[in-house]
Copies of this chain bind each other. A is one copy, B any other.
């Protein structure tokens, strides 16, 4: 099997949520695995000079309509959560900790975090909610809650975000396939085309 597709995302990114429903299946069609890599878009934007949606009301109004329409067109449940956006470092830290223990379970955790936030509209920023989601997937809640306060777990996420930025990640979702970068849920067709043509 060739190298996995790297899937970088922020748990508070609607476009990443939509892509998360599609990328595994797309990759499977080419006998590829997907490495899920939560990152922090706020930290990345500070470096790249991009502007968060909150400070662009016209763009935000447009995107609000676009997400609702994408949910309908892609047949994916969609709720604009309130509050939105939110801090996602807790969910991201939990993901890497879980991933070191059970990668399959961690991916299911990531999908459930997305569905809880954008499908049901429930805030997923607190350790309690994050641990409840993990607990529902047969992880031990108290172990995770304890881990979330550890310096090493916090540092792990900082390292992952740094690595993402070093790899050129400047948005969410962002995919790297054999060194080739694709940004946006609307680039899935290009990833498919790229894989079909053997990287051309």
Contact = CB atoms under 8 A, between A and B. Distances in A.
Given A51-B51, A55-B49, A56-B50, A61 B187 contact: no
Identical copies in the complex: 2
Contacts of A181: 62, 65
Contacts of A186: 184, 186-187
Contact of A183 (B49, B51, B62): B62
A193 B73 CA distance: 8
Contact of A58 (B62, B72, B170, B193): B170
A91 B130 CA distance: 54
Contact of A56 (B48, B65, B190, B200): B48
A164 to B, nearest CB: 11
Nearest to A165: B58
Contacts of A193: 73
Nearest to A183: B62
Instruction: Assign chain A's interface to a size class.
Output: 20 to 34
A69 interface: yes
Interface string A162-200: 000000101100000000010110110010010000001
A82 interface: no
A181 B73 CA distance: 15
A66 interface: yes
A65 B181 CA distance: 9
Interface in A18-59: 47-51, 55-59
Question: Which 4 pairs from chain A and chain B are nearest by CB?
Answer: A186-B186, A58-B170, A48-B58, A49-B56
Interface of A: 47-51, 55-59, 61-62, 65-66, 69-70, 72-73, 168, 170-171, 181, 183-184, 186-187, 190, 193, 200
Given A48-B57, A49-B58, 14 more contacts: A47-B58, A48-B56, A50-B51, A51-B51, A58-B168, A58-B170, A59-B171, A65-B181, A66-B187, A69-B190, A70-B190, A73-B190, A184-B186, A186-B186
